[in-house]
Structure 1
Amino acid sequence: MSDDAPGSASWRHTVRTRLLAFARRSVRPEGGFVWLDDEGERDPDKKLELWINARMTYVFALAHIGGSEDSLRLAEHGVTALRTLFHDDEHGGWFDVVDEDGTPEVTTKGCYGHAFVLLAAATATAAGAQGAQALLDEAADVHGRRFWDGEAGRCVEEISADWSEIDLYRGANSNMHTVEAYLVTADVTGDAVWRQRALAICERIIGIHARAHDWRIPEHYDADWTPILSYNDESPADPFRPYGATPGHAFEWSRLLEQLAASLEEPRPWIREAAEALFARAVDDTVDDDTPGLPYTTNWFGEPAVQERFHWVIAEAVLAAEALHIATGHALYAGLARRWWSEIAEHFVDDTTGSWHHELTVGMRPSTRTWRGKPDAYHAFNALTFPDLPLAPSAPLTIGAAR
């Protein structure tokens, strides 16, 4: 690969630098990070969202460890927002959506958002951000005490503001991001219980449920963890709970499984088997020799359900290919990574703004069926960063050495 080819280290560094410059435009001087539109201006119709603020805090904290100037200040800006604007001072935990003075628009508390708070807090702690250790202490306590269900070996999805009522829905997506947060928390704190919990989640959602459905991952479950395969079949393009299988998540789980295996002293053989099987199934269901990009969802026969191409899906696909190539050395994975980097460079990177187009049609033109604007730097930043790093320990502990 030439020095300036898409996916090369120098190309990724250049694209990452421009991405971070765009992401800095989300800083709200009064606190937190705003939702950006296509041009990098604040979307006035969007409130402050927990997942965006936690992800931006994570990105700037990791960027600081990697040597990016002025990123520590922005990570601390995010830590402050998480400790104040989004925090429920009465009951603990964090609200998913708040207005500019911190009044909650949504009062229930979600595993998804709390997983990102934990990820941000652990990464900011590794970065030495002021206030991050206190945030990590609380986030670990809340996630472990409120969302972790030891009997089920997985996390519950949503709980009322006062923690008195647990919603009956269970979701794979929030558990997947919990795996990510738990692996980083294990490395930053040195407490192996988080890694064991991550393993338990993977054993059940992937080792049992995905295996039983031909490596297409059931995303939605009832309170007893019985898959609901028809969930949202009338609203298939939902941004967080779409109908059917989500190949982008299969790629993401594949990469996380390889990171999990690399972190264990004696990884179990099924982990590698599952990582490769998830990847193979997602490729079979999405890759078309004549059409760039990867569809958002498929039905349970592998036929595309939502054809739009999302930036996060191809970002996770290329990350999985890079991780599997590191782990196995197989040329197949390197070849797919080269293809996807080329498609990212040609279609997803916005050369005008430096951000990535979040959603494209099958014809690779901008779409807003599911996503509006460019609020999220997290998936793209990870894709541009992780190929330089070992699979374990996690990025906050290794990115500094890769400088």
Structure 2
Amino acid sequence: MTDAPATLPKTNSSPWSNRPFHRQYLMAQANRLYDFFEGPSLNPKGGFFELDDDGKPLGGADPMRQIHVTTRMVHCAAIGSLIGRPGSGELLDHGMRYIWERHRDAVNGGYAWGANDTGIVDGSKQAYGHAFVLLAASSAKLVGHPLADQMIADVTAVINARFWDEDDGAMRDEYNQDWSVLLPYRGQNANMHMTEALMAAYEATGNKDYLSKAERIADRIIARNAVPLGHRVAEHFDSKWSVDKHYVGNEMFRPSGTTPGHWLEWSRLLMQLWILGDKRLSWMTDAARNLFRQSIELGWDHVHGGFFYTLDWNNKPMMREKLWWPVSEAIGAAAFLSAYDRDDYFQSWYRTLWDFAENHVIDHARGGWLSELKEDLTPTSRLFVGKPDIYHALQACLIPLYPATGSLTAAIIEADHTVKQHH
């Protein structure tokens, strides 16, 4: 596995995203993802199935629907509708109704983590889940779904009342179902996805309060913590926002150590936030570049390829598995950075990342992307069973196709308006 070349030869230096064949390749990959996920995921009793490697439903006849699965499918269905993928509207409506009728806790307020055919199964109220409700509703508003405005209003009220900490400029993490217990844990993952959702809500509504909250979270997580830590993102904090380097938690959502995939995710989100904030917070572009470089320097396996899932605080790999989502996020970040930085480094890595995805992650035989590889790149399923969702991979395919001006959904609309003006 070779690293990206330091510089591109002049004969091959223009960005791939400008080339017709590459653009066709990206849209074809996006279409294959929709083909794999759309039909089999839809649970006729409400919500969506999670799928195994062959695209068959997991979890038996009445599986628990986790809120991030429901909401991400809604977000991706909204993207499908915006780009003109037939079938997306029905999928979007199916998911929006499930969020509103099943995940929403009509007694206590807020949105429960897990539901099934009989009602709420896991009633925990998590900032992570509420972030994705806000993202789904904001994306649905852009395609005119009738539930979108009331869902945005409802989840925003909950976020402001329960999760947002004005003094700390960040989100609290988790309560029990009736809000009577707030866990002392504070996490960057929920705050990172809330930043993504707040930007989408700002674009959908024009309300600058969403943008200012996103900027304060970025300041807390990145400027005050990641930058002094050598552009390594701390994942876990106590209730006073002191870094907890010894935290041991859920390997999927709150893994120990630090997670290079999140450095990459922040790299792109910071670029989006810089643009939406009228490019006034210049520290964000510097941080975005350095987060990307550090993820490659420390997180990329320079022997086999792929990003190690987690590192310890001495920069040694802890969980050596290579997951699908960090390479997806790296592609989106490289595309964004390439749009604003002429350094060949980002375009070279964009190509290397797509080489890796094409040769090792995309499941050409069955569809979808393999969720987990061992260190030597053979498929495994220690952490993730099956193919968890369409969200990360779809955005990797589509972000490079649209202007690097904000969230993907808003960029698709902007590109559409530009085409209309030219005609």
Choose which of 85, 97, 101 in structure 1 pairs with 2:102. 85
Corresponding residue number in structure 2 for 1:394: 407
Is 1:285 the equivalent of 2:298? yes
1:362 and 1:288 map into 2 onto residues whose CA distance is 8
| Pair 1:260–1:3, CA change in 2 (3 A) | closer
Choose which of 362, 367, 379 in structure 2 pairs with 1:349. 362
Q: Assess if the C-alpha contact under 8 Å between 2:238 and 2:244 holds in 1.
A: yes
Alpha-carbon offset, residue 401 of structure 1: 4.5
Superposed structure 1 runs of 4+ greater than 4 Å apart: 1-7
| Pair 1:300–1:6, CA change in 2 (3 A) | farther
Corresponding residue number in structure 2 for 1:67: 84
Q: Assess if the C-alpha contact under 8 Å between 1:158 and 1:167 holds in 2.
A: yes
Q: Deviations over 1:173-197 (max 9, x none)?
A: 0000000000000010100111111
Corresponding residue number in structure 2 for 1:138: 154
Is 1:31 the equivalent of 2:66? no
Q: Which runs of 5+ in 2 are unaligned?
A: 1-14, 417-423
Q: Deviations over 1:284-338 (max 9, x none)?
A: 1022443121110111121111110100010011111111111212210000010
Q: Deviations over 1:97-152 (max 9, x none)?
A: 122222x2222200001100100000011111232222122122212222111111
Q: Assess if the C-alpha contact under 8 Å between 2:17 and 2:401 holds in 1.
A: no
Alpha-carbon offset, residue 163 of structure 1: 2.1
Amino acid at match of 1:73: E
Corresponding residue number in structure 2 for 1:256: 269
Is 1:47 the equivalent of 2:64? yes
2:414 and 2:124 map into 1 onto residues whose CA distance is 40
| Pair 1:96–1:393, CA change in 2 (3 A) | same
Q: Assess if the C-alpha contact under 8 Å between 1:34 and 1:48 holds in 2.
A: yes
Amino acid at match of 1:54: T
Q: Assess if the C-alpha contact under 8 Å between 1:325 and 1:334 holds in 2.
A: yes
| Pair 1:317–1:4, CA change in 2 (3 A) | same
Is 1:376 the equivalent of 2:389? yes
Q: Deviations over 1:362-397 (max 9, x none)?
A: 121211111001121100011111112223242222
Is 1:273 the equivalent of 2:286? yes
Amino acid at match of 1:89: A
Moved more, 181-190 or 41-50: 41-50
- Using the size of structure 2 for normalisation, the TM-score is 0.91
Over aligned residues, Cα RMSD in angstroms? Answer: 1.8
Instruction: Give 1:117-132 correspondences, 5 Å limit.
Output: 117-132=133-148
Q: Deviations over 1:189-209 (max 9, x none)?
A: 100111111000001110011
Q: Assess if the C-alpha contact under 8 Å between 1:127 and 1:396 holds in 2.
A: no
Instruction: Give 1:355-374 correspondences, 5 Å limit.
Output: 355-374=368-387
Corresponding residue number in structure 2 for 1:204: 220
2:78 and 2:279 map into 1 onto residues whose CA distance is 31
Q: Assess if the C-alpha contact under 8 Å between 2:371 and 2:387 holds in 1.
A: yes
The count of aligned residue pairs is 399
Q: Assess if the C-alpha contact under 8 Å between 1:66 and 1:402 holds in 2.
A: no
Q: Deviations over 1:65-101 (max 9, x none)?
A: 1111110111111100000111111011111012222
1:314 and 1:82 map into 2 onto residues whose CA distance is 29
| Pair 1:171–1:88, CA change in 2 (3 A) | same
Is 1:314 the equivalent of 2:321? no
Choose which of 297, 311, 314 in structure 2 pairs with 1:301. 314
2:16 and 2:283 map into 1 onto residues whose CA distance is 36
Alpha-carbon offset, residue 58 of structure 1: 0.5
